[in-house]
Amino acid sequence: MQGFFSRLSSLFTTLSGKSGTALIDREHYTDELLSLDMSFSIAERLIGGRETPGRTPVDALKDRMKQILVSAPLIEPKCGILMIGINGSGKTTTIAKLGKWYVDHGYSVITGAGDTYRAAAIEQLAILSGRVGMDIVKAMPGVDPASVIHDAVTAYKHRSRDVVIGDTAGRLHTNVNLVHELKKIKSVMTKAMAGDRMATYLIIDATIGKNSFQQAKLFNENIGIDGIIITKLDGTAKGGIIFTICDELRIPVVALGTGESMDDFMIFDKGTFVEELFK
């Protein structure tokens, strides 16, 4: 497990070395979990749970962790992905990481530069696309984002690509017009996919902590979210936020962003994640 999960991991590794009675040093472990960005309610459920007949305390703890976490596999090609989230959360960077992941697994990827508000945003995606081996469909700044995404899906179909990923401009979830525009982009993309699988992924910046919940709830109510990618986990050195996000939102986390380089990306599977924490 990478460095930023090391505190979380060493806590659980310590627990797994203890006997059943030592496991119930509740106060100490609750404080530790709170300091890792878990909510009090989660810390209580993890540490304060009753013993489960037939399960060792550590196995019971792992079970409770898996009940709190929610994960799902990445959408399988052929497919379309729409990336949404607030400004600077990591959408464009994550599109490149995700694109690279699909390319590394043998799929062809095309991306649509749907953030047409800033020339720099189009340029950023173009540079990253070249670096990871994705095609890009782009237009001049100011063009209707929905039309760019539509063109990207058309290119995906014509060129028989496996994955199409649409970038969008950072949105304030509280701005009605912006959310309305996102709805339009999603409906245009869904229609253009013509029955191919599609997912909308919300990018959440781990460093903003609890402020992300309301944001995610509003995006989910208005746009519909199929999965979450939590970015900037390297900036928190905590990792407990993953539990808090899952517990609050009950929307599956599909992947984690753990740095600025294109390989700082992990697929999230709760079973594997929990086992890794105890190693």
Ligand X SMILES: Nc1nc2c(ncn2[C@@H]2O[C@H](COP(=O)(O)OP(=O)(O)OP(=O)(O)O)[C@@H](O)[C@H]2O)c(=O)[nH]1
Instruction: Give the residues lining the site for Mg ion (CB under 5 A).
Output: 91-92
Within 111-130, the residues that bind ligand X by CB under 6 A are 115, 121
Check residue 5 and report its DSSP letter: G
Q: How far is the CB of 117 from Mg ion (least distance, A)?
A: 9
Q: How far is the CB of 124 from ligand X (least distance, A)?
A: 6
Q: Residue 110 pairs with which residues in a beta bridge? A: 135, 164
Side chain identity, residue 94? T
Nearer to Mg ion among residue 11 and residue 169 (C-beta):
169
Q: How far is the CB of 55 from ligand X (least distance, A)?
A: 35
User: How far apart, in whole angstroms, are the C-alpha atoms of residue 25 and residue 3?
Assistant: 26
Give the x/- contact pattern for ligand X in 69-98, rule: CB under 6 A. Answer: ----------------x-xxxxxxx-----
User: How far apart, in whole angstroms, are the C-alpha atoms of residue 84 and residue 18?
Assistant: 43
- Binding residue for ligand X (CB under 6 A) from 259, 262, 269, 275? 259
Nearer to ligand X among residue 145 and residue 257 (C-beta):
257
**From 43-51, 61-69, 175-183, 226-234, span contacting ligand X (CB under 6 A):** 226-234
User: How far apart, in whole angstroms, are the C-alpha atoms of residue 126 and residue 137?
Assistant: 9
**From 11-19, 23-31, 48-56, 232-240, span contacting ligand X (CB under 6 A):** 232-240
Nearer to ligand X among residue 30 and residue 93 (C-beta):
93
List the one residue out of 204, 226, 233 whose CA is nearest residue 71: 226
Q: How far is the CB of 253 from ligand X (least distance, A)?
A: 14
Helices then strands, counting H and E runs in the chain, come out as 11, 8
The position carrying tokens 């245009």 is 188
Q: Considering CB under 6 A, how many residues would be counted as binding ligand X? A: 20
Instruction: Report the partner that residue 85 touches, choosing among Mg ion, ligand X, none (CB closer than 5 to 8 A by kind).
Output: ligand X
Contact 268, 253 (CB under 8 A): yes
Nearer to ligand X among residue 57 and residue 145 (C-beta):
145
User: Does position 49 bind ligand X by CB under 6 A?
Assistant: no
User: How far apart, in whole angstroms, are the C-alpha atoms of residue 259 and residue 48?
Assistant: 34
Tokens of 215: 């944001």
User: How far apart, in whole angstroms, are the C-alpha atoms of residue 107 and residue 103?
Assistant: 5
HSE at residue 71, side-chain half, CA atoms within 13 A, is 21
User: How far apart, in whole angstroms, are the C-alpha atoms of residue 141 and residue 174?
Assistant: 24
Residue 227 vs residues 7, 40, 60, 210, 251: alpha-carbon distances, Å: 26, 25, 27, 18, 6
The total of other beta-carbon atoms located within 10 Å of residue 172's CB is 13
Give the x/- contact pattern for ligand X in 152-181, rule: CB under 6 A. Answer: ------------------x-----------
Instruction: Report the partner that residue 260 touches, choosing among ligand X, Mg ion, none (CB closer than 5 to 8 A by kind).
Output: ligand X
Residues that bind ligand X (CB under 6 A): 85, 87-93, 115, 121, 170, 231-232, 234-235, 257-260, 264
